[in-house]
Amino acid sequence: MTTIGWVRHGITDWNLERRAQGQTDVPLNETGRAQARALAERFRNEKWDAIYASDLSRAKETAETIAAALNVPLHLDERLREMACGKMEGTTEDERIRMWGEDWEDMELGIESDESMLHRGMAAVEDICLRYPGKRVLAVSHGALIATLLPALVPDMNEKEHLHNTSVTLVRQLNEAWVCDLYNCRRHLDAVNL
């Protein structure tokens, strides 16, 4: 059955500033590029058949670094983009409180719903499984999308730890269900001073 290795993109300056990135096209910083290289080196010793990635540059560059090391096809897919954060994109929590008050989370700010993310994420998963049945495929995406999609794929999953940049989470199709074999792994970062 198909295995999907979910990878969160490398770190950006906005990650460090705790700014909502959403679908704003924020590039990797130098640390993010080093994380992507470390991840590519880790994957050199593993068998992967293809990579799918969000078309936003932070995920795309992470995926391109891996694809070049593994010499596998790379497919860009906008359905793997981060949650659209509407008016809060580019802001920090303090800025949101200043602009909209303590109850900003209850306001209509044009933020994409979990249902919308699930719909597009599951459609991408179905396409991956149809195109690469029984193969091993990496999917380079974003924290909110992956965190929303995983419990839908693996309903008995109890892991709640925040997904780290360039972490790897492996899910495998088993008959009609999915199982999680590895969650939020970042052992590849031990080899570099990040």
Q: Is 119 a catalytic residue?
A: no
- From the candidates 61, 64, 82, 89, give the one annotated as an active-site residue: 82
> Are 101 and 127 a contacting pair, CB within 8 Å?
no
Half-sphere CA count of 160, side-chain side, radius 13 A: 1
Which position has the token pair 């360039």? 166
- From the candidates 9, 75, 142, 188, give the one annotated as an active-site residue: 9
> Are 168 and 7 a contacting pair, CB within 8 Å?
yes
The one-character DSSP state at 46 is: S
Q: Is 82 a catalytic residue?
A: yes
CA distance 34 to 11: 9
Point out the residues that are catalytic. 9, 82
